[in-house]
A and B are shown apart, each in its own frame.
Chain A
Amino acid sequence: MQRGRPEQFVSSVTKPDDFNAFWDQVQAELDDISLEPAMRHVPERSTAEVDVYEIHYTSLHSLRIAGWYCTPKPDYPVSPYPGLAILPGYVSEPTLPKSWAKLGYAAVGVAPRGKLRSNGQYNPGYPGLLVDRIVDEQTYGYRGFYADALRAIDFMFTRPEIDPSRIGVHGGSQGGALSLVTAALRPDVVRCGALAAPYLTGFMDAAALTHSYPYEEMNEYFRTYPERIDQVRKVVSYFDCLNFAPKITAPLLIYVGLADDICPPETAFNLRERLTCDVTFRAHAGCGHEAGVYWELPKVEAFLADHLRPAAPARLMTDGLEEVS
């Protein structure tokens, strides 16, 4: 199958005039809601090096949001630690970031609304989240979902063992999108981001380029409600990472697969064009949505360490991995 060169793909995404006002309003709503952070130690998941906590905090619409929080044991090494938000993919449950804690980070694995343990009041289902009330930017599911990710950054700010000047974000796919959103809306806090195959980037273009879920949810929706395409185009423009891109100041590492059927690489190239921050961008031939993680993981680890400077006793996650040949 032949396809155009992704770096030449012209995005159809435009930015609403009131984009910043929209997100200022979300922030104003969040400012009126007490975070009410809570932590419960989980001894059965803790190890000799890492303490594991189940956390909860309050987000938009007063929903209680869950997550995992992993810290090095107090003497492994000593605090303060850099903070790292691990943001989840679309269908995966939030990771329990013990391996990052073992590297010296205080790491939060976020479970935004709809994920298990955060789905008591909001549960659009999967498939379902991507198009949940997609007809109105004020009711679209991702309005609260993005807010929940922002609140995870705010949670880290409440922790005395975290150095607030060393907070980073990391994730792939939807986690990549949330990394971009949190970096854009917390520009004074997020110091760096490492992300793979960013989702929620060029929504409409991506849906037109693929039959794979989750974007296929939009194609299904348009087959059912073809008259709503323009309405949806307007709504998703408030949530499109292409429109968050110019607000990001933190350095980013981005890696993508050039044969990614889930998040088409064209949209990642469009993202790169719109970013004005320092970006390291690598595209892996023959790779799909895994985006070359086999080679990238050690580079992610090095990138985050360069910017966040954990006092790690040992490298963990590079065993058996090879460099790109």
Chain B
Amino acid sequence: MSADLAQEIDQWWERLDDDLCPLEATPEFEHDALRSHDLFDTYRVRMTSLDRYIIAAWLSVPKGDGPFPAAMYTPTYMSVVNPAPYEFRIRAITMNVISRGQRGADRPYAAAFPGHLTVGIDDPDRYIFRGVVADTIRAWEVLRNHPQVDTDRMAMIGTDLALLVNARRADAKAVHVTGSFWYRMKEIAAGTEAYPFEEINDHLRMWPNQEEAVARTLAHFDPQYQAERITARVLLNRDQASPTGNDAWFAPLASRLATGPTFLDMTHRGQTDYDAMDAWLSNELGMPAYPRSWTPQDLGAWSV
């Protein structure tokens, strides 16, 4: 990356902060009795984000006085956002961010799937994900300021969007990156026909003259260029058989992370992998692990 682009990216992030910080979040917490439980309370949260856009979140707080460890689930690339898994909600304060465009924060902007990923993508200042990143930072601030959160035991779970948040707000102790999304996105898109990355290919087929502009915009969101600012311990899902998940793939990011990442080698058995992630994150947050798998799993001829 050229020095000019690096400087442009740094300035872009500074401007994002400059635009977001003066806006008060003024969160509103509405208790949701239906989604609460003997072991935790659930709240629907509304708050003000960049451009005075009203975003939302699910907040779950264990019964008791706290302080509790806390985890934020960064927005997924879906219209629907659910509360966090039960097994997390009974142990920690959890927040699931509903960013602009997603159900619950879809006025005035309702995201289309596919389509959301390329709205304004030829200009980093107009790109919809400038707002989505700001929304996620804003939600993190609201979570951090919750009176029952133990601010020494906070984590994020999600795509590498979580790394971008940690680069701007250094309080997370641990980040579990469930998969590459912004990291080397254009390269991922070039090697797949699967959505959502295919949205990038669709866009460039339609507007091939934007190739350079799109690459420039995506560089603003690539966590490898923010890696020196990341302070959390990072868990990355690794798959040596995958060209977008092996050591060579992660090298540009891993080599720049101050703490060096921990790798979770995927077995592709989802619950086994989930339990390994939970063990790592629970250890980081100083809370007991809560594996979801059960026995028996070997059913002889029934199982593969």
Q: Which residues of A contact B (CB under 8 A)?
A: 1-3, 5-7, 43-45, 47, 91-93, 95-96, 98-99, 102, 116, 125-127, 211-213, 216, 220-221, 223-224, 257-261, 282-290, 292, 294-295, 316, 320, 322, 324
Contacts and interface: CB of A to CB of B under 8 A. Distances in A.
Contacts of B268: 292, 294-295
A154 to B, nearest CB: 25
Given A212-B85, A220-B35, A3 B271 contact: no
A257 B304 contact: no
A211 B299 contact: no
B86 interface: yes
B108 to A, nearest CB: 16
B104 to A, nearest CB: 8
Interface residues of B, number: 47
Contacts of A283: 299, 302-304
Contacts of A257: 269-271
Contacts of A292: 268-269, 304
A125 B80 CA distance: 8
Interface in B260-304: 267-272, 274, 291-299, 302-304
Contacts of A282: 304
Main secondary structure of the interface of B (DSSP, over half): loop
5 contacts: A44-B202, A98-B193, A99-B193, A287-B271, A287-B272
A286 B293 contact: yes
Contacts of B299: 5-7, 258, 283, 285
A320 B82 contact: no
Contacts of A91: 78, 80, 82
Given A96-B195, A126-B82, A212-B85, 18 more contacts: A1-B294, A2-B294, A3-B296, A44-B203, A47-B205, A91-B78, A98-B198, A116-B112, A125-B103, A259-B292, A283-B299, A286-B267, A286-B297, A290-B270, A292-B268, A316-B193, A320-B242, A322-B241
Interface in B73-99: 78-80, 82-83, 85-87
Given A1-B294, A292-B304, A287 B206 contact: no
Given A47-B205, A127-B35, A324-B304, A287 B78 contact: no
Contact of A44 (B80, B205, B269, B291): B205
B3 interface: no
Contacts of A260: 271
B173 interface: no
Nearest to B270: A288
Interface in B184-215: 193-195, 198, 202-203, 205-206
B147 interface: no
B233 interface: no
Which of A5, A259, A322 is the most central at the interface, judged by chain B CB atoms within 10 Å of its CB?
A259
B114 interface: yes
Give me the 5 closest cross-chain CB pairs, A-B, nearest first: A286-B269, A211-B86, A259-B271, A288-B270, A288-B271
Interface string B22-53: 00000000000111010000000000000000
B113 interface: yes
A286 B298 CA distance: 9
